[in-house]
Structure 1
């Protein structure tokens, strides 16, 4: 069975973005980007909210054509194009190549997707993560904690209203100080 994996950068104080959608504090160097590429190249789908999708789609489809981008970034451009995307939005009317659009999260459809063969699916977009969490569709969290205190912005679990039990299954420290905390969701 395929898993739904939340793959998110966080500050030490739990923010995924700073004020004004600031992501400049994300410490993505060559080592971490290579790790992301290895992980994400195995995914069978990217499940994205509108904001995350538009952010990614604005840069990655042709990032490999820019010779000034480092090899790990050029490699990810190919991964972004190759992996199918399901975009959840009530406002978008169309999406790019290799993407499909859904207005709502249908829990039955997602459970059916999880039953299909293939690699795990990566979930992005904080509002979408919260919807999937409430519907008990998230199987794993891969949280990349950056060695920075942001102080304000948007937190990943801002609207969580009940506990979700987790099992820490992996930790990894990268050379730039980012720490991966990988948790499986515990279901009774």
Structure 2
């Protein structure tokens, strides 16, 4: 069965963006990006692939799930087809989005919609963000990969929002990346 992997950047103090949703304060070291995109080339947005020399085919993920606010920068840049047209793109929202054959919209029972995705054959599913969606899907998440950036934001959008109770996770790997970023991997349940 496919796994849901929350692969996201965060500040050292646990914020995925500032209070306004801006994540541009995170360092954008080319060596860090190269290391991350070497591991998961599919996580590089299409409009940056050529400039960053990312040519690899998807390795782990064939589907990306994100909330409307995470999808918004693509729309703001005029990318109606989304930032990841090389993946199946699923945007969770109860609002209308511009029509695109490259973006699926899931509304209503979000957990059931994502559970149905996970039951389909294919590679793992990348939960791209954001905090509200991660909070809603936390019980479906198999793995959390946090790219901890060497910056303190002090306030902002947390990694998860709206959790109704504590959950145990188990650290399985800590890997230093160029640029002072640490890739920390947690499992919510054993693999398999």
TM-score between the two structures when normalised by the length of structure 1: 0.79
Alignment gaps of 5+ in structure 1: 63-76
For residue 98 of structure 1, report the CA deviation from its aligned partner.
Answer: 1.6
Answer whether contact 1:171 1:180 (CA < 8 A) is retained. Answer: yes
Indicate which of 127, 133, 142 corresponds to 2:145: 142
Deviations 1:64-117 (A, max 9, x none): xxxxxxxxxxxxx6xx22101111111124443421111124434433322322
Counterpart of 1:130 in 2: which secondary structure?
Answer: helix
Looking at secondary structure, tell me which structure has more helix per residue.
1
In the superposition, relative to structure 1, how do residues 93 and 25 fare at CA in structure 2: closer, same or farther (>3 Å)? closer
State the alpha-carbon separation in 1 of the partners of residues 99 and 146 from structure 2: 27
In the superposition, relative to structure 1, how do residues 34 and 175 fare at CA in structure 2: closer, same or farther (>3 Å)? closer
Answer whether contact 2:132 2:162 (CA < 8 A) is retained. Answer: no
1:55 aligns with 2:82: no
Residue 49 of structure 2 is matched in structure 1 by none
For residue 126 of structure 1, report the CA deviation from its aligned partner.
Answer: 1.4
- 1:1-12 equivalence runs, <5 A: 1-12=1-12
1:119 aligns with 2:127: no
Counterpart of 1:19 in 2: which secondary structure?
Answer: coil
Residue 21 of structure 1 is matched in structure 2 by 21
Residue 83 of structure 1 is matched in structure 2 by 87
State the alpha-carbon separation in 2 of the partners of residues 102 and 10 from structure 1: 25
RMSD: 2.2
State the alpha-carbon separation in 1 of the partners of residues 34 and 126 from structure 2: 17
Counterpart of 1:21 in 2: which secondary structure?
Answer: coil
TM-score between the two structures when normalised by the length of structure 2: 0.78
Residue 73 of structure 1 is matched in structure 2 by none
For residue 61 of structure 1, report the CA deviation from its aligned partner.
Answer: 4.7
Counterpart of 1:10 in 2: which secondary structure?
Answer: strand
Deviations 1:150-178 (A, max 9, x none): 11112123432311111112211112011
State the alpha-carbon separation in 2 of the partners of residues 13 and 144 from structure 1: 12
Answer whether contact 2:106 2:113 (CA < 8 A) is retained. Answer: no
For residue 59 of structure 1, report the CA deviation from its aligned partner.
Answer: 4.0
Counterpart of 2:133 in 1: which secondary structure?
Answer: helix
State the alpha-carbon separation in 2 of the partners of residues 2 and 155 from structure 1: 26
Count, aligned residues: 169
Answer whether contact 1:7 1:143 (CA < 8 A) is retained. Answer: yes
